[in-house]
Amino acid sequence: MDIRIRPAVPEDARPLLGLYAPYVEKTAITFEYDVPTLEEFRSRIERTLARYPYLVAELDGEAAGYAYAGPFHTRAAYAWAVETSIYVSMEKKRMGLGGRLHEALESALKAQGYLNMNACIATPLKEDEYLTLDSVRFHERLGYRWVGEFRQVGYKFGRWYNMAWMEKHIGPHGAAQEIRIGGKV
């Protein structure tokens, strides 16, 4: 099994959308109801790459997962924090791809000077066929801590779901942080 992590390019939109679509259609992991168009998904990749890392995991030469970061919030004081997302092909779960993607994403974010990785994770009132606590457990293994939960905030498949926030500090928080403009110090 040959796993390669590389930066995404806009031309990855088609295979990555193919990985993402089943999450929209069959799970409450994402609260999107409709699969984005290819053009929209490509645009999301391009917007992300303008400032943040967007990575692809290839397994034996084929896209098998992806991870990216985006703004935690748009206000200037949040410039050192990001929100992260990781998706792995439904058929390739539990093969170490998610962990490898996260490791590479964390490394890239540290190199860019980010200090906080935040994960917004859908959680069920009780586990069901659309959503489990696997993502929470995954993030706990990676060193994230639970910081809060919004109750019954997302409605999908005729039921309500919660949204948990987890965080991981990846750098020292100094008393005199340098000002960041547009993601750069």
- CATH number for position 78: 3.40.630.30
As a residue count, the chain comes to 185
The neighbouring-strand residues paired with 91 are none
* pLDDT digits 0-9 by tens, 7-19: 999 999 999 999 9
Does residue 134 fall inside a structural domain?
Answer: yes
CA separation (Å) from 134 to 10, 28, 37, 90?
29, 12, 28, 13
Does residue 174 fall inside a structural domain?
Answer: no
Does residue 185 fall inside a structural domain?
Answer: no
Find the domain containing 82 and state its range: 3-169
* pLDDT digits 0-9 by tens, 74-116: 998 899 999 999 999 999 898 889 999 999 999 999 999 999 9
Does residue 179 fall inside a structural domain?
Answer: no
Does residue 85 fall inside a structural domain?
Answer: yes
Torsion angle in degrees (nearest 10) through CA of 129, 165, 58, 134: -30
Strands 54-59 and 3-7: antiparallel
Count of domains observed in the chain: 1
Sign of CA dihedral 115, 84, 118, 170: negative
Does residue 181 fall inside a structural domain?
Answer: no
Does residue 133 fall inside a structural domain?
Answer: yes
